[in-house]
Amino acid sequence: MTDVLTALFGSKARVRVLRLFLLNADTQFTTASVAERTQVSSMDVRREMRMLERIGFVTVRRVKGKKHYRANEDFPLRDDLIALFARATVTSECQSLARVENIGDVHLVLVSGIFLNYTKARADVFIVANDVSRVRLAKWIKSLEAETGREVSYVLLTMEEYKYRLNMTDRFLQDFLQGPYDEVVNKIPQFKRSVSGLRRRRA
């Protein structure tokens, strides 16, 4: 649905900026913080903020001469836009997901939570990987947050930790795998059988 939103609103930059304000309605942002959170160029952010200020989508407060923006609670279409963006699942259009294997020796990546609008998820991303670069992981998470407009929670396990938790019938694994999720990477043989076994034990 993100591609649809891009077509409707004219650009990915505008969709990212709108999503950031709509899904973080109580937060104030400067143009610099908008650019950092959305990973949109400063020039494009300034253009979008001028437009959003002009139509009354954001309110502006000056602090030491610097503009701070917040979503305008009285904007006529605010609730409709929040509902639209909140319903838009982003898994298939989230380009950063495809770059997850750059973080290390990745065996399994599952997404739920904000990617599927599943509010009961224990995490948004579940990763099983060895030899992970923490720098690359942090950069990858920031890219996901730029595309989703929200903070992304994740759980990272080594392959050894994953096997241990699986054998111990770990509660987190049970809870996560009981709910809806999408597979981004799956290199674990018999993974689906393991999930079925966990669910049977849970029942």
Local confidence pLDDT in tens for the 203 residues of the chain: 456 677 677 788 898 999 899 988 889 999 999 999 999 999 999 999 999 999 999 999 998 889 999 999 999 999 898 888 877 666 656 788 989 999 999 999 999 998 888 888 999 999 999 999 999 999 999 999 988 888 999 999 999 999 998 888 888 888 898 889 999 999 998 888 877 766 666 55
Whether residues 104 and 80 fall in one domain: no
Residue 68's DSSP bridge partners are 61
- Last residue within a domain, chosen from 30, 57, 87: 87
CA distance linking residue 146 with residue 163, whole number of Å? 32
- Last residue within a domain, chosen from 87, 107, 138: 87
> Residue 26 in 3-state DSSP?
coil
This prediction has a pTM of 0.76
CA distance linking residue 168 with residue 7, whole number of Å? 47
CATH number, domain of 24, equals 1.10.10.10
Whether residues 102 and 187 fall in one domain: yes
Whether residues 7 and 64 fall in one domain: yes
Whether residues 101 and 173 fall in one domain: yes
Cα–Cα distances in angstroms (integers) from residue 174 to residues 51, 168, 200, 201, in the given order: 47, 11, 10, 9
Q: Which of 4, 184, 18, 183 is nearest to 88 (CA)?
A: 4
Q: What is the number of structural domains in the chain?
A: 2
Under 8 Å between Cβ of 45 and 52: no
CB neighbourhood size of 60 (10 A): 13
For residue 28, give its domain range: 2-87
CB neighbourhood size of 196 (10 A): 12
Enter the tokens of residue 123: 């995490």
pLDDT for the residue numbered 90: 64
